[in-house]
């Protein structure tokens, strides 16, 4: 479902000419009611544990990093790169999770994980330069888009690290509901103060794309990921999510007419191998 997001964004850009901030605002305004209702239901349960002030701050910070800042960077970057290359760049986030955990939480990196990181980044470079061949003089915009997506991967990796530490304490559904509600509020405030576009008089197609992104690429998969991390751990979740780049490439080929090169296929395989190794050799206590 997360793979479909990039496809819907590219379709919306192509069919409506909507800008990134407006499209992101539509996505979150349709998503917000679901998160608010879920947060209300979870908080009303007898077994509910109230957040401490510190936990409120952490949930707000992690949520905004993961689905406000990351989403904004992603939507901006998708103006300049294909859906396929976007998913490949984003999918290096497990390597970034490993590096962030090592730097901030002194988690030791094994030799085989260093090899996995190297394989992933070599694969990304191979796919990256294979994609440049298709740009036909648009390399400046391509580099900008790739940089924005890479920054998105960094902020999303930070979200994964933070959520992995908060979910066991506060619960998957409660964490996701409040984190996504804070992220939605951040997006809508950003739109309010930085956009002159009205959300009232847009074309019906804009609302359709926003609604589809909200339900099928935001609400449902966000709860699935949170619950999946709770049940099988972030390492195994990363392995399972290996289907993401492949499904995006296939969907982009059939729905957007995007071509993919031999280099892109080779790069995808290398990134998948690297991510698999990282997930496979995570410390047992994290799984």
Mean pLDDT across the chain, nearest whole number?
85
Q: Is the pLDDT assigned to residue 154 strictly greater than 90?
A: yes
Cα torsion angle, 20, 26, 29, 32, sign: negative
Q: Is the pLDDT assigned to residue 257 strictly greater than 90?
A: no
Q: Which of 129, 57, 117 is CA-nearest to residue 273?
A: 117
**Per-residue pLDDT band at 32 (split at 50, 70, 90):** very high
Rounded Cα–Cα distance for residues 209 and 156 (Å):
23
Q: Which of 172, 182, 82, 99 is CA-nearest to residue 135?
A: 82
Of the two residues 272 and 56, the one the predictor is more confident about is 56
Q: Is the pLDDT assigned to residue 262 strictly greater than 80?
A: yes
Output the pLDDT for position 287: 37
Q: Is the pLDDT assigned to residue 121 strictly greater than 80?
A: yes
CB neighbours (10 Å) of residue 219?
Answer: 21
* Reported pTM: 0.85
Q: Is the pLDDT assigned to residue 139 strictly greater than 80?
A: no
- Overall average pLDDT of the 167-184 stretch: 89
Burial of 72: CB neighbours in 10 Å, binned 0-12, 13-18, 19+: buried
Of the two residues 135 and 26, the one the predictor is more confident about is 26
* Alpha helices by DSSP H, the chain: 2-16, 20-43, 53-64, 70-77, 83-90, 93-105, 111-132, 139-170, 172-194, 204-214, 220-240, 243-251, 262-280
Place of tokens 């990351």: 70
Percent of the chain with pLDDT over 70: 92
Q: Is the pLDDT assigned to residue 65 strictly greater than 80?
A: yes
- Overall average pLDDT of the 186-197 stretch: 92
Which sequence spans correspond to the domains of the chain? 2-286
- Overall average pLDDT of the 111-129 stretch: 85
Alpha carbon distance, N-terminus to C-terminus of the chain: 23
């Amino acid at each position: 479902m997360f793979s479909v997001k990039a496809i819907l964004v590219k379709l919306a850009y192509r069919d409506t000419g909507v800008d990134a901030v407006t499209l992101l605002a539509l996505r979150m305004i349709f998503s917000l009611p679901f998160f608010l209702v879920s947060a209300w239901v979870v908080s009303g349960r007898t077994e509910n544990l109230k957040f401490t002030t510190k936990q409120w701050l952490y949930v707000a910070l992690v949520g905004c990093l993961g689905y406000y800042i990351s989403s904004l960077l992603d939507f901006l970057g998708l103006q300049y790169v294909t859906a396929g290359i976007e998913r490949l760049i984003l999918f290096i986030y497990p390597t970034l999770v490993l590096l962030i955990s090592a730097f901030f939480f002194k988690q030791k990196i094994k030799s085989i994980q260093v090899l996995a990181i190297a394989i992933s980044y070599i694969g990304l470079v191979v796919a990256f330069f294979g994609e440049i061949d298709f740009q036909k003089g648009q390399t400046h915009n391509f580099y900008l888009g790739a940089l924005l997506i890479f920054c998105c991967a960094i902020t999303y990796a930070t979200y994964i690290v933070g959520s992995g530490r908060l979910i066991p304490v506060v619960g998957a559904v409660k964490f996701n509901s409040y984190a996504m509600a804070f992220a939605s509020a951040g997006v809508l405030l950003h739109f309010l103060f930085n956009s002159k576009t009205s959300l009232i008089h847009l074309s019906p197609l804009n609302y359709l794309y926003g609604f589809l992104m909200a339900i099928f690429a935001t609400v449902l998969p966000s709860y699935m990921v949170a619950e999946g991390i709770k049940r099988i751990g972030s390492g195994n979740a990363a392995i399972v999510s290996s289907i993401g780049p492949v499904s995006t490439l296939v969907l982009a080929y059939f729905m957007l007419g995007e071509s993919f090169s031999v280099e892109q296929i080779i790069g995808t395989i290398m990134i998948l191998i690297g991510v698999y190794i990282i997930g496979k050799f995570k410390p047992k206590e994290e799984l």
